[in-house]
């Protein structure tokens, strides 16, 4: 009964906590995932779903593999490859394979705040970011008169201050600039393919696709030819941190609370039901020593008979037995 008195308040508190948690609105997740699976502001769910309209009649596929793994599985030729991530940092092998893909006639669009040392050195580019600028709003526009708008595109709620401050002007063509005139969108001809580099990945996210300035995103993608598209999921930060099942569970609010509820229930089970249950073992009292009572009873019997000669003979017999057993002396 005492156990149930303790369990009841715990269960009531747990139920109240779960009800409060269920009806409490989830805070907005501003994580920069850029994943096609995420509907959060900085996910790319909307853009990925609209690729069929932007490239009608073409095959749209996503991959969780690096360039090297893709290239050894099959030949990739004359396709569009779209990479949107926070920091694109391929190793030496991936950089070499990326350049080979471009040489084979593929067009690659990379939207990233930086492009890693290996690729930056190969392309002779450098990006800049002002750490002293606290503004989260900037204006962009195109250089091409056919795409340029009279009023600059205005983007807010994000990091929009990255731009190119060094690039090979003999091979790179500026396609877009920010409000200060710094280039943030360039293209480079490499072999039979074209490499498009954009320094503001936040532009291509769900948040901005729901805003009135989304026309800028569609115009940026219009530089890609209408052909099959390979969408990258490997080089995103979300791919690194969701590599194990437990990390994925903890990243999803519903699964996370289900997981913790299960752990809480298991702890209660161990505390209150962990002991082996069996019927009560009856207490068996040990046998009492009745030697003294037996002697008194026998003594009373001899006393009532008053046969002293018989008692004397038995004492003699017991005495002689004692001598034989203890001293080994024959008494016959």
CB 202 within 8 A of CB 220: no
30-39, 46-55, 188-197: lowest mean pLDDT where?
30-39
In CATH, 45-241 is 3.30.1490? no
pLDDT(201) > 80 = yes
Range among 21-35, 160-174, 216-230 with highest mean pLDDT value: 216-230
More reliable by pLDDT, 12 or 204: 204
Rounded Cα–Cα distance for residues 30 and 47 (Å): 17
pLDDT at 240 over 60: no
Q: Report the percent of the chain where pLDDT is more than 70.
A: 86
State residue 256's pLDDT score.
78
pTM: 0.69
In the prediction, which pLDDT does 69 show? 87
Q: Are 26 and 253 in contact (CB under 8 A)?
A: yes
pLDDT tens-digit profile of 62-99? Answer: 998 888 888 888 888 999 999 999 899 998 999 999 99
What per-residue confidence (pLDDT) applies to 262? 81
pLDDT band at 130 (very low <50, low <70, confident <90, very high): low
Q: Tell me if 75 sits within 8 A of 97, measured CB to CB.
A: no
pLDDT band at 44 (very low <50, low <70, confident <90, very high): very high
Q: How confident is the model at residue 124 (pLDDT cuts 50, 70, 90)?
A: very high
Q: Is residue 140 scored above 80 in pLDDT? A: yes
Sorting pLDDT into bands at 50, 70 and 90, what band is 120? very high
Find the mean pLDDT for residues 113-136: 82
As a whole number, mean pLDDT of residues 91-111 equals 93
Residue 142 has pLDDT above 70, yes or no: yes
Q: How far apart (Å, rounded) are the C-alpha atoms in residues 188 and 110?
A: 12
Cβ pair 233, 35 in contact under 8 A:
yes
Domain limits, the chain? 45-241, 291-327
pLDDT at 141 (0 to 100): 94
Structure tokens at 308: 């002293």
> Which pLDDT does position 245 carry in this prediction?
72
pLDDT digits (tens, 9 = 90+) for 265-316: 788 777 766 666 667 778 888 888 888 888 888 778 777 877 778 778 888 8
Mean of all residue pLDDT scores within the chain: 84
The single residue listed with the structure tokens 């809480």 is 264
Tokens of 174: 């500026």
């Amino acid at each position: 009964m005492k156990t149930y008195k303790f369990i009841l308040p715990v269960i009531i508190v747990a139920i109240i906590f779960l009800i409060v948690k269920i009806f409490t609105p989830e805070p907005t997740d501003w994580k920069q995932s850029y994943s096609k699976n995420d509907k959060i502001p900085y996910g790319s769910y909307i853009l990925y779903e609209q690729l069929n309209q932007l490239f009608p009649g073409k095959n749209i596929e996503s991959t969780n593999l690096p360039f090297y793994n893709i290239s050894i599985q099959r030949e990739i030729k004359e396709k569009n490859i779209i990479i949107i991530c926070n920091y694109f940092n391929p190793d030496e092998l991936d950089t070499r394979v990326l350049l080979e893909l471009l040489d084979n006639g593929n067009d690659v669009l990379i939207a990233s705040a930086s492009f890693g040392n290996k690729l930056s050195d190969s392309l002779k580019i450098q990006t800049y970011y002002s750490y002293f600028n606290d503004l989260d709003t900037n204006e962009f526009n195109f250089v091409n008169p056919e795409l340029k708008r009279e009023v600059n595109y205005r983007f807010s709620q994000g990091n929009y201050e990255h731009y190119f401050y060094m690039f090979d002007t003999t091979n790179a063509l500026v396609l877009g600039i920010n409000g200060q005139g710094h280039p943030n969108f360039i293209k480079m001809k490499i072999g039979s393919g074209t490499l498009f580099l954009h320094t503001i990945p936040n532009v291509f996210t769900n948040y901005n696709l729901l805003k009135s300035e989304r026309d800028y995103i569609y115009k940026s993608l219009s530089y890609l030819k209408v052909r099959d598209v390979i969408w990258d999921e490997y080089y995103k930060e979300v791919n690194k941190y969701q590599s194990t099942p437990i990390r994925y569970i903890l990243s999803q609010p519903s699964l996370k609370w289900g997981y913790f509820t299960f752990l809480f229930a298991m702890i209660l089970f161990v505390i209150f039901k962990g002991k082996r249950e069996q019927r009560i073992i009856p207490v068996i009292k040990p046998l009492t020593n009745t030697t003294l009572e037996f002697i008194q009873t026998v003594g009373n019997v001899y006393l009532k008979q008053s046969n002293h000669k018989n008692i004397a003979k038995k004492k003699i017999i017991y005495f002689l037995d004692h001598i034989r057993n203890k001293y080994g002396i024959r008494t016959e």
